[in-house]
Amino acid sequence: MTASLPVMALATRTSPLAMAQALMVQARLAAAHGVSDAEAGFPILGLVTTGDQITDRALLDAGGKGLFTRELDRAQLDGEAAFAVHSMKDVPTHLPDGLELACVLEREDPSDILLTASGPGTLKSLPQGALIGTASLRRQAQALHARPDLQITLLRGNVGTRLQRLKDGPIAATFLAKAGLKRLGRPEGDWPGLDFAHSLPAPAQGAIGVTIRSDDDAARVALAPLNHAPTALAIAAERGVLEALDGSCRTPLAAHGVFEGDTLHLTAEVLKPDGSQRWRMNDTRTGIDTVEAARAFGLSLGEALRKDGGAAVEAILTGTGS
């Protein structure tokens, strides 16, 4: 490379996890293009998003999609940043006009872990009636499906805050994505992940993506060596499930895709928020090699699940169910 590469900024949220992820992308860009001063070639632009400023209520009550992405989108469209680095789990299925997903890094372990003050927990190991802190409808519903005796309360905040809350009581446990803990270099990142039988991850959990402006060919070319095709295809399928089943982030749903050889295995699930019912389906496809084909696979599995769930699932999707 490429003394000719223009300086291209990376927009990111300012949370410790978002910053760690932006630094990963920055380092990989610098390595891929032989840039010795990564921060000079690919400076990081930290932005506070609407979602970051909401701490006192469940995100689902805050309204609107893309609470964690809007300000990053704007920075890209305004030309302040060539790239925005995202946890793909937080990115709405439809990007704003003028932006596109240009690269997805190889996925980290997508599983959830159950954090307790005394170490790794499992849904089975929790005491009768234990109080779980979470802001995630999916995790709430999955926990209650496995353990109807559990109690749920709202808990948000970074890992340190949450650990302190667990120590203070009365909250016994909280769920976190293993990928985030690993990227923060926390020892809990090496704890065993929860079994997908009860704790199927959110669509795209564990995957980092980078968006660009659709007209920015230099940015697209710069990112190409960072893309991991099996991850990009797996999360496109998972996000297809999301697209078929949810417009609102108010649906407890999970999806996981993984390749075995050239066969993509996809599992999708919807639950009642109170965990009293769960619908799960899986399917496989061979030879999927475009994001469009992967999305179509996900859409079809999501639609099949929707059909299978009938009026009960429809009531959950429209928010009229319990």
Ligand X SMILES: NCc1[nH]cc(CCC(=O)O)c1CC(=O)O
Query: Site residues (CB under 6 A) for ligand X?
Result: 87, 89-90, 176-177, 179-180, 205-206
Q: Which is nearer to ligand X, 116 or 309 (CB)?
A: 116
**Least distance in angstroms from the C-beta of 73 to ligand X:** 17
3-state secondary structure 44-72: EEEECCHHHHCCCCCHHHHCCCCCCCHHH
**CA 238 to centroid of chain Cα atoms:** 10
Smallest distance, ligand X to C-beta of residue 218, A: 27
Q: Which C-beta is closer to ligand X: that of 24 or that of 38?
A: 24
Token pair 């696979």: residue:
297
Phi then psi dihedrals of residue 268, to 5 deg: -135, 145
- Torsion angle, CA of 46/201/301/298, rounded to 10 degrees? 30
What's the rounded Cα separation, in Å, for the pair 192 and 135?
22
Which candidate, 160, 154, 197, 204, places its Cα nearest to that of 179?
Answer: 204
Name beta bridge partners: 271: 278
The SS3 assignment for 12 reads strand
Q: Which is nearer to ligand X, 99 or 177 (CB)?
A: 177
Rounded to a whole number of angstroms, the minimum distance from the CB of residue 153 to ligand X is: 17
Q: In the complex with ligand X, which residue's Cβ is closer, 35 or 266?
A: 266
Q: Which is nearer to ligand X, 176 or 236 (CB)?
A: 176
Output the smallest distance, CB 205 to ligand X, in A.
4
Report, in Å, the least distance between residue 208 CB and ligand X.
6
CB distance 154 to 135 below 8 Å? yes
List the beta strands (DSSP E) in 105-140: 112-116, 119-121, 131-133
* Closer residue to ligand X in complex, CB, 28/285: 28
- Look at the block and give the residue holding tokens 């990053």: 72
CB of 312 to ligand X, least distance (A): 27
- DSSP labels, 233-276: HHHHHHHHHHHHH-SSS-S-EEEEEEEETTEEEEEEEEE-TTSS
Active-site residue list: 90
| Min dist. Cβ of residue 60 to ligand X (A) | 12
Identify whether 170 is preceded by a cis peptide bond (ω within 30 of 0): yes
Q: Which two tokens stand for residue 113?
A: 């872990």
Q: Is 101 helix (H, G, I), strand (E, B) or coil?
A: strand
Of 35 and 241, the one with the shorter C-beta distance to ligand X is 241
How far, in Å, CA of 306 to CA of 319, rounded?
14
